[in-house]
Amino acid sequence: MKKYMNLLLWGTQVDESLFPTLELIKSIGFDGVEVPIFNPNPEHWYAWRKKLDDLGLERVCDTFCGAETNLISPDPAIRQAALDYLKSCVDCALVLGSDKLMGPFHSALGIFTGQSATEQEWAWGVAGIQQLSEYADNMGVMICLEYLNRFEMYLTSCTDELIRFVDDVNRPNCKIMFDTFHANIEEKNIGNAIRQMGNRIAFIQLSENDRSTPGKGNVDWEGVFKAIKDIDYQDVISIEAFSQKLPAANIWRQMFESEEILMREGLGFLAPLTPEGGFELRNLNYNKHQKNKCILENNSNINQVATPPSGRFDASTGRLLNIAIVGLGFGAEFIPIYQRHPHTNMYAICQRNVEKLNAIGDEFNIEKRYSDYDELLKDPNIDAVHINSPIPNHAEQSLKALYAGKHVACTVPMATTVEDCQKIVDACKATGKKYMMMETVVYAREFLFVKELYEKGELGKVQFLKASHQQDMEGWPDYWPGLPPMHYATHCVGPVAGLLKLQAEYVSCFGSGRISEDLVKIHNSPFAVESAHIKFKDSDLSAYVYRSLFDVARQYRESFEVYGSKKSFEWSLIEEEEHVIHTAKKPEPEIPEKVKVPDYAHYLPKEIQSFTGKGVYDADDNTHLSFAQGGGHGGSHPHLAHEFVMALIEDRDPFPNAAQSANWTSVGILAHESAMKGGEIIYLPDF
């Protein structure tokens, strides 16, 4: 089943200025477009046909009639003008290479008489479409009629009326185009309307109730998808969304983030509309952060949005996973790891600063270089992207990559809003691609040590967990100053949730102290320290975490502490000092003892084991500040890369996967919200 995009999203100016948009539509993965015919001169469309042919985009044509081209006007001259106009549109469709002319042109848009359609108006409409159908049939063009809701048209405004009209026309090339937007207004059951139309339907437009991204409103998509399967519809489905650029749509506010994100999310939403995808939304979840949002839980073998390489290491051919790294500050730390990993090819790098891009590319002998992220995503050879860009870009770039058919590893945090976290989870479900938030602490040697103690039973019953992350961010890039402490909390949330694979259920947080006023005004976040209690779902455990970023005297510290019935682990207070193990039932002076935490390089392929003990640069002046301040991130980098790669090879979820990453990130986001509300308990969505 092919997927199209309606160009009305970009308004009524349908000329060569839209050619770059056509290229984007193709790169995202659409099979074709709906081209609105507002210029009935066939000469206008020759360049369009060439462009569409060059891109390999299929096309159909849409149009509508107004007061001066109304097939049911009492003025015969206007009726003739309508027929002449529509025949010209058929000619344009022929030039474009379209086999369909579609729309509600049986009558005029927005023209009312104040009463229901008369028998005479009905007869004029039927006669006009009969003549048009005969003309179009000679050209090999099908006429597809649409009904609009009662606020836009009155000749046909529901399924029963349009079926009767098409049956009265009684021409083999006169069929129905079905639009969910109008059906959502006029039909008591959209699915039954589709079944009633049956094989009269030759084209389906999927449009949300507010004309924005399909799946984000209140249309009964489950019923729609089931009905499409029931009538064995195998033809095109198209996204129809409108914006303020189309005055006739009466949209006066922005309904979506961007046209590109709408397309990528919309195409992912259409993934179930294949036999492989199951034709259905198997579960519709709602929560207070995602009102009326469809959460796709498709079969694991749904069709992908794009057709990149398989994304898996092929033992028979030796094909390696092609990795692209985006952002070459901290991101450069991972280049040699992927170069030496036995299952990966360090294929491409991306950096906006061309000078830096080339310097890194030359240093590591990487041929494929991109200064434009969107261009990188068009490369069909890339299996996965590892994103190390500034925090505000994480969600947008992750979503673009997933909907471009790439697996995603992304540095922390996942996003800056709960809503964006949910979008990434949805995108993984819709595309079948994998996402891993590259949280360093849960692969640091200290975490691996405590995890080993827990799995061996040496901790006994875990009773409490505690973590902190304190850092002086003065002098960091421009998006850091004044950042709420808990908006960057995964370094302390990750280990307390990750040790026992717990899901945070709700959080309460208090702010303390006050940072300088020049920092406060940037994010309206006053607190020097934010400390939160986390309650875990289906567990008797809770955790305590605290964060500071500015105006607190403290050496860098990422600490993680676990208190068990047999043994407890406490982090040292000063960097480079040994940590402490407390053992129960010993004489009091003997309970604590310092412990040297071992390295866990033996968990890794021998080719990358050396990277647990050093950064990728030997020179201190080249090491990224986060790596230096973080004490080398506990040797976590090769473990992170290895986990991501093996998840792709073994076709399993990485740890943390998208839902776990969303949970950990949202703890921090909602903890700050709680602090701003005086410690109010706030529940997390169930991702």
| Residue 557 to residue 544: CA distance in whole angstroms | 16
Report which residue type is found at 41: N
Residues 6+ apart with CB under 8 A from 217: 208, 209, 210, 292
- What residue has token string 């007869």? 123
- The b-or-e profile of 260-298 (16+ CB within 10 A means b, else e) is bbbbbbbbbbbbbbbeebbbbbeeeeeeebbeebbbbbb
Extract long-range pairs of 421-424: CB within 8 Å, 24+ residues apart. 421/395, 421/661, 421/662, 421/665, 421/666, 421/669, 421/687, 422/289, 422/290, 422/293, 422/295, 422/662, 422/685, 422/687, 423/265, 423/395, 423/399, 424/395, 424/398, 424/399, 424/658, 424/661, 424/662
Residues 6+ apart with CB under 8 A from 612: 445, 599, 600, 601, 604, 635, 637, 638, 639
Angle at 179 between CA 176 and CA 183, to 5 degrees: 105
**3-state SS, residue 659:** helix
* Sheet (strand 504-512) strand order: 592-595, 579-583, 567-570, 557-564, 462-470, 542-548, 529-536, 504-512, 682-683
**Candidate list 121, 152, 186, 240, residue with the active-site label:** 240
**3-state SS, residue 603:** helix
Report which residue type is found at 405: G
What are the counts of helices (DSSP H) followed by strands (DSSP E) for the chain?
A: 20, 23
The two tokens of residue 433 are 């691609």
Cis, peptide link before residue 481, omega less than 30° from 0: no
| Residue 361 to residue 339: CA distance in whole angstroms | 13
Task: Report whether 245 contacts 10 (CB < 8 A).
Answer: yes
Residues 6+ apart with CB under 8 A from 526: 511, 514, 515, 520
CA-closest candidate to residue 579, choices 442, 449, 491, 440: 449
**3-state SS, residue 547:** strand
The backbone torsions φ and ψ at residue 473, rounded to the nearest 5 degrees and listed phi first, read -95, 10
| Residue 141 to residue 97: CA distance in whole angstroms | 9
Cis, peptide link before residue 656, omega less than 30° from 0: yes
Q: Report strand pairing: 174-179 vs 557-564.
A: unpaired
The two tokens of residue 467 are 């973590």
Report which residue type is found at 641: A
Query: CA distances (Å), 629 to each of 94, 306, 470, 598, 625, in order?
Result: 65, 40, 11, 21, 6
- For the question of residue 673 being annotated catalytic, the response is no
- For the question of residue 240 being annotated catalytic, the response is yes
Establish how many alpha carbons lie within 13 A of residue 615's alpha carbon, considering only the half-sphere containing its beta carbon: 22
Task: Report whether 38 contacts 7 (CB < 8 A).
Answer: no
**Candidate list 34, 146, 265, 558, residue with the active-site label:** 146
If you compute the radius of gyration of the chain from its CA atoms, what whole number of angstroms results?
Answer: 30
Give the residue numbers annotated as catalytic, written as ranges. 146, 240
